[in-house]
Amino acid sequence: MNLINTFFNMQVLIDSLPQLLRGLVVTLQIGIASIIAGLAGGLFLAIARLYAPSIVRLLIRFYIDIFRSIPLLVLLILVYYALPFVGIRLSPFVSAVTALSLVSAAYTAEIFRAGIEAIPQGQFEASAALGLSNRHTMVDVILPQAVRIVIPPLTNNCINVLKDTALASVVAMPDLLKQATQAQALAANPTPLIGAALIYVLLLWPMVAIVARLEKHFSKGKR
């Protein structure tokens, strides 16, 4: 069959598999680094937005709004192609992680803020009445409760970050997509692209399923 030979050519897939797996490793490196940096940055922004002086809070809101509005591909191209004009020359890897983290931090900050605001005022008052510091109130009382609320949306955000790593291929990062397009050119056959798509789905499907289960679990009203 011509169609099968074109799109599901086993020999091409087997030949390109090592290249695709190397790409997968790069994709995971970019994704995990961006997720961790985005989580840390988002948590910091969310807490600073609660306790910082009002001018800092205003700046944080500005940051969050800007980075939720800008298309990731545009940001990535700005970081990689525009920053060198002011002497900031970042490697493709650092460019990709920077762009992904900046955006992820903005989304994560909103998720954490919603989680913290979902905690009843009485929890803050009880902590204050006991003489707990702001730090202990957050670490011991508020965040452990908020984290349970924000796990489903945070996992969703992680899925988005992992998917968005594919954009790194435009700054010549040898990620999964880039490897697939190169293998496709080499073999003059699109099967490696199909292979890459399958790998993305195999990687992310379990996470999507977990989010669905978590959302169901948390919506049962268990806090």
Partner 1 sequence: MDRLGSTLISIRSLTKAYGDFTVLHGIDLDIAEGEVVCVIGPSGSGKSTLIRCINHLEAFSRDSTITVDGIAVGPGSALAKVRAEVGMVFQSFNLFPHMTVLRNIMLAPLRVRKTPVVEAERKARELLARVGIAEQAEKYPGQLSGGQQQRVAIARALAMQPKVLLFDEPTSSLDPEMVGEVLDVMRKLAGTGVTMVVVTHEMGFARQVADRVIFMDGGRLVEEGTPEEIFDNPKEERTRGFLRAVLNH
Interface residue list for partner 1 (CB under 8 A):
120, 122-123, 125-126, 128-133, 136, 140-141, 144-145, 148, 223
Give the nearer residue to partner 1 in terms of CB position, either 89 or 135: 135
Q: Tell me the residue type at 119.
A: I
CB of 115 to partner 1, least distance (A): 13
CB of 68 to partner 1, least distance (A): 30
CB of 131 to partner 1, least distance (A): 4
User: CA–CA separation, 117 vs 135, rounded Å?
Assistant: 16
Give the nearer residue to partner 1 in terms of CB position, either 139 or 208: 139
DSSP codes, 10-53: HHHHHHHHHHHHHHHHHHHHHHHHHHHHHHHHHHHHHHHHHHS-
DSSP codes, 161-205: HHHHGGGGGGGT---HHHHHHHHHHHHTSSHHHHHHHHHHHHHHH
CB of 125 to partner 1, least distance (A): 6
Give the nearer residue to partner 1 in terms of CB position, either 131 or 206: 131
User: CA–CA separation, 193 vs 4, rounded Å?
Assistant: 14
Give the nearer residue to partner 1 in terms of CB position, either 29 or 145: 145
Give the nearer residue to partner 1 in terms of CB position, either 148 or 163: 148
CB 20 within 8 A of CB 183: yes
User: CA–CA separation, 190 vs 9, rounded Å?
Assistant: 9
Task: Match 């009445």 to its residue by tokens.
Answer: 129
CB of 114 to partner 1, least distance (A): 18
